[in-house]
A and B are shown apart, each in its own frame.
Chain A
């Protein structure tokens, strides 16, 4: 018999419309603030496409959207969400409330149910009642409000850490005390930074840089421990409303 191992089965090439661009995003809600963070590395396979591609975007004075998965879909989706928010502003002369933005994102994602946006969205900000809120979405629009969520390449490393540190899972409080319902901002920022530095250590697709967005409720100011870090304040439409700050950090480049 001739060499059977040389026979090759028919092959077909097909264009793959999606790509995996790596990276990780994370959001944590406080009592009257929310932190939304993402690393800035964009990769494909073992290559780095760029060390600085933002994944976290400021939508309104009180809403910040982080997108992760396929970068082209993520960037386009953010642009389309921003357009919808602009139409809302034209029609109602005010910004969309956070839970309305969350529902809008669901309908926009589900509208593409049969050719989805390959993005995991995390929406963070301040609700109408002044509390910090985090909404997380799957690529076709299933969503839920939570206290904290990590998504992306290092999700499996970061989310368990958050479950332990934010929800105090598998921890018993000291005698006579209980776990706090909400953590203060400096503690949350430390948890975020530690999450990313640790993820960078062990996951090749995470690194290069970290951008953290802090959304503060009306009337709330930054604690001194945070102002010393000199965050950049983003311009807001109203002087006395919610405010958004950005902190940038380097992450290891290897």
Chain B
């Protein structure tokens, strides 16, 4: 992207009718590690790739519980994510106190979208540098939303955000029609495959760097119970789901392999 004179102030449009500061904020989301969301008729799940700054460091938290029936995965500035998730928790709790029912998920997502929009129109404020994938469960079933710092939110069957998320989107676009009737285990397997597409060369999903957030009835690998509440799975409990993935296809040996070493006399050895 080229630097230009219309991108310093939030309140200045470019001649093309764009707000560059907002677009730069969207870049911050694209820099964050990937998060994938998908849903069936009975469940909504989030999967996230956790990043660590080095072998000695812990992995950055990517998922937050907002209420029993709402959870989020983040991509971008984690500090902004904490502020917005705190706000979501306040909204959820306040709504429950006043109306004696869990907040409808679309209302909650609209609340943060409206809050984020303010920062795109007020002078001197910067947009939030984080995007959310929000899953929620209400009387109309499971839902999945994407929230972005531009102040827009959309509902999806499946979506992904963050670094190299286009690869995950391609997988999801290919398979989404089968999600509606999937069991929880199959849904998670699809999600893990999609998340794996975002990995760089020779990296893999492990129990350390993967987070799974689930809404809906317990699966076979979870302790028995009838709770549908949002829960985050991390560490060893993820192992059975990682095992259920199809092994990654190993690419065939490259034809540009190193030719046999030349003996000193011939000046050029053509490969066979």
Contact = CB atoms under 8 A, between A and B. Distances in A.
A239 B225 contact: yes
Q: Is the interface of A mostly helix, strand, loop or mixed?
A: helix
Given A235-B227, A239-B223, A239-B224, A86 B93 contact: yes
Contacts of A239: 223-225
Contacts of B93: 83, 86-87
A90 interface: yes
B189 interface: no
Contacts of A235: 226-227
Nearest to A236: B225
A87 B227 CA distance: 20
B97 A83 contact: yes
Contacts of B51: none
The listed residue with most B CB atoms (<10 A of its CB), out of A90, A235, A239, is A90
B115 interface: no
B89 interface: yes
Nearest to A76: B97
A90 B86 CA distance: 9
A211 B226 CA distance: 25
Say which size band chain A's interface belongs to: 10 to 19
Contacts of B227: 235, 237
A205 B15 CA distance: 76
A108 B89 CA distance: 20
A79 interface: yes
B201 to A, nearest CB: 34
A83 B98 CA distance: 12
B65 interface: yes
A236 B156 CA distance: 32
A79 to B, nearest CB: 6
A192 B23 CA distance: 66
Interface in A76-131: 79, 83, 86-87, 89-90, 93
Contacts of A93: 65
A79 B97 contact: yes
Contacts of B223: 238-239
Interface in A211-254: 235, 237-239
Contacts of A79: 97
Contacts of A90: 64-65, 89
Nearest to A238: B223
A89 B232 CA distance: 13
Nearest to B232: A93
Contacts of B225: 239
Contacts of B224: 239
Contacts of A87: 89, 93
A93 B65 CA distance: 9
A239 B64 CA distance: 23
Interface string B3-44: 000000000000000000000000000000000000000000
A235 B89 CA distance: 23
A238 B224 CA distance: 10
Contacts of A89: 65
A237 B227 CA distance: 8
Interface string A30-65: 000000000000000000000000000000000000
A238 B227 CA distance: 10
Interface in B190-243: 223-227
A93 B71 CA distance: 13
Interface in B84-134: 89, 93, 97
A194 to B, nearest CB: 36
Nearest to B65: A90
Contacts of B89: 86-87, 90
A239 B226 CA distance: 11
A79 B97 CA distance: 8
Nearest to B100: A79
A172 to B, nearest CB: 50
A14 to B, nearest CB: 30
Nearest to B229: A237
Q: Which 9 A-B pairs have the closest CB atoms?
A: A239-B223, A83-B93, A90-B89, A86-B93, A79-B97, A239-B225, A90-B65, A83-B97, A239-B224
Given A87-B89, A237-B227, A239-B225, 12 more contacts: A79-B97, A83-B93, A86-B93, A89-B65, A90-B65, A90-B89, A93-B65, A235-B226, A235-B227, A238-B223, A239-B223, A239-B224
9 contacts: A79-B97, A83-B93, A83-B97, A86-B93, A90-B64, A90-B65, A238-B223, A239-B224, A239-B225
Interface of A: 79, 83, 86-87, 89-90, 93, 235, 237-239
